[in-house]
C-alpha cells in the first residue's frame, strides 16, 4: 500500500446501539478525515430488530424472561458484528422502556457479563440533547424557530431551537407503545399541552423537525411534500393520520404495505405529532431522517477528537 492508498483508507468505524421501547438498532458508520481535518460520515450498516420491550414494561413494569433472553442473543450478535466490522469504539444507550423497567439495571448487568456489551440508561434530557447535537450540524437554514420532536415508543423528546440556538429541552412519558398500552397519564398529556401553548406564545412561527421511524414512514406515505427541502405540510400529516386511524392494523398493513410492528404504532405517533403541530400552529414538518444513533456516533467522534487533541498537548 503506497502513501496515497494509506491516506485514502484512513478512518475509523464507530457503532451506536439504540435500545428503544419499540425497536433496537445497531448503526455502524465509517468516519474519514480529509487533509484539512474535515470529517465525512458514511453509513456502513444499519440493523433494526423490533424487540418491542415497551409492551412488557408498560404493561407489567418489568421485562419478561423471554425478552431478557432475546436481548442477550441480540447483544451477542451485535458484539460479533462490531468485531467483524472492526469497530473502533461504540456506545449502547437504552431509553424509556429500560428506564422504567424494575429489573432493567439487573438485566443490564447480566448482559454485560454474558456479552461484554456495556449498556447505559440515559434520561430523556440527555436523549433530547444527543439528537439535537446531531441535527444542528445538518441544518442549512438555522434562522427562525424550530421544534425538534423525536417520538419513540416510550417517550417524546422535544428541543426548541431559535436562530440556531437551543432554547430548551423537554422529555415527556408519552410514546407510541405507552399509548397502545393505555399507560400514559392524563397529567402528562396536560403538561405537554401546557408547555406547547407557552412556547407558541413566546416563539410564534415555529415549525417542526420530526424524528423517529414513524414520522419517516409518514413522510414517505404522504403525497403532498417538498422532496428538496424534506418537508410536508401539517395538513398532509393530518390527512394521512385521519385515513390511518379509522383502519384496523391489518387494513393499514394491506393498504399502505406496512409491517406489523409499524402498522400499530404509526397511529399513536400521528396523534402526538398532530397534537403538537396544532398547539404551536406549525405549518410544516421537516423530516431529515436522523435520530439518536446518529447523535451517539457524533458524540463518539467528538470524544475521539478531544483525546487526539489532548495527546498532542492541546495544540
- DSSP strand pairing (39-49 vs 24-33): antiparallel
Average pLDDT over residues 43-54: 95
Beta bridge partners of 210: 149
pLDDT of residue 181: 94
pLDDT of residue 283: 96
Strands, sheet with 231-233, edge to edge from the N-terminal-most edge strand: 165-172, 156-162, 145-151, 207-211, 284-286, 231-233
pLDDT of residue 309: 83
Nearest to 127 by CA among 164, 81, 82, 173: 173
- pLDDT-based confidence at 205, cuts 50/70/90? very high
Instruction: Please determine whether the domains at 3-124 and 139-289 fall in the same fold group of CATH.
Output: yes
CATH code for the structural domain at 139-289: 3.30.420.150
pLDDT of residue 1: 39
pLDDT of residue 5: 42
Average pLDDT over residues 26-31: 97
Alpha-carbon torsion (161, 162, 163, 165), positive or negative: negative
pLDDT at 270 over 80: yes
- pLDDT-based confidence at 143, cuts 50/70/90? confident
CA-CA distance, 60 to 294, in Å (whole number)?
31
SS3 assignment, position 133: helix
- pLDDT-based confidence at 82, cuts 50/70/90? very high
Name the least confident of 46-60, 157-171, 191-205: 157-171
* CB of 267 closer than 8 Å to CB of 245: yes
More reliable by pLDDT, 310 or 155: 155
Q: Where are the domains of the chain?
A: 3-124, 139-289
pLDDT at 104 over 80: yes
What CA dihedral angle connects 189, 194, 200 and 202, to 10 degrees? -150
pTM metric for this prediction: 0.82
pLDDT of residue 212: 87
- DSSP strand pairing (145-151 vs 207-211): parallel
Is 3-124 a CATH 3.10.20.520 domain? no
Q: For residue 182, with 0-12 CB atoms within 10 Å meaning exposed, 13-18 middle and 19 or more buried, which class applies?
A: exposed
Amino acid at each position: 500500500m503506497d502513501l496515497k492508498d494509506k491516506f485514502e483508507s484512513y478512518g475509523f468505524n464507530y457503532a451506536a446501539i439504540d435500545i428503544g421501547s419499540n425497536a433496537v438498532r445497531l448503526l455502524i458508520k465509517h468516519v474519514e478525515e480529509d487533509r484539512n481535518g474535515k470529517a465525512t460520515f458514511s453509513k456502513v450498516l444499519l440493523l433494526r430488530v423490533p424487540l418491542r420491550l415497551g409492551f412488557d414494561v408498560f404493561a407489567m413494569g418489568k421485562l419478561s424472561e423471554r425478552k431478557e433472553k432475546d436481548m442477550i442473543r441480540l447483544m451477542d450478535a451485535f458484539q460479533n458484528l462490531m468485531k467483524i466490522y472492526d469497530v473502533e469504539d461504540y456506545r449502547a444507550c437504552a431509553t424509556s422502556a429500560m428506564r422504567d423497567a424494575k429489573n432493567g439495571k439487573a438485566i443490564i448487568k447480566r448482559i454485560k457479563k454474558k456479552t461484554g456489551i456495556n449498556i447505559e440508561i440515559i434520561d430523556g434530557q440527555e436523549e433530547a440533547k444527543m439528537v439535537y447535537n446531531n441535527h444542528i450540524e445538518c441544518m442549512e437554514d438555522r434562522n427562525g424557530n424550530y421544534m425538534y420532536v423525536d417520538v419513540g415508543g416510550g417517550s417524546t423528546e422535544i428541543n426548541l431551537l431559535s436562530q440556531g440556538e437551543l432554547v430548551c429541552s423537554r422529555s415527556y412519558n408519552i410514546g407510541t407503545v405507552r399509548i397502545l398500552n393505555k399507560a400514559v397519564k392524563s397529567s402528562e398529556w396536560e403538561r405537554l399541552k401546557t408547555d406547547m401553548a407557552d412556547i407558541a406564545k413566546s416563539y410564534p412561527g415555529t415549525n417542526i423537525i420530526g424524528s423517529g421511524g414513524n414520522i419517516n414512514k409518514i413522510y414517505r406515505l404522504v403525497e403532498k411534500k417538498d422532496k428538496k427541502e424534506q418537508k410536508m405540510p401539517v395538513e398532509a400529516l393530518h390527512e394521512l393520520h385521519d385515513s390511518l386511524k379509522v383502519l384496523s392494523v391489518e387494513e393499514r398493513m394491506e393498504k399502505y404495505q406496512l409491517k406489523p410492528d409499524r402498522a400499530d404504532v404509526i397511529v399513536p405517533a400521528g396523534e402526538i405529532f398532530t397534537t403538537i403541530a396544532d398547539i404551536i400552529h406549525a405549518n410544516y414538518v421537516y423530516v431529515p431522517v436522523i435520530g439518536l444513533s446518529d447523535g451517539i456516533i457524533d458524540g463518539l467522534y467528538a470524544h475521539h477528537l478531544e483525546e487526539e487533541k489532548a495527546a498532542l498537548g492541546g495544540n
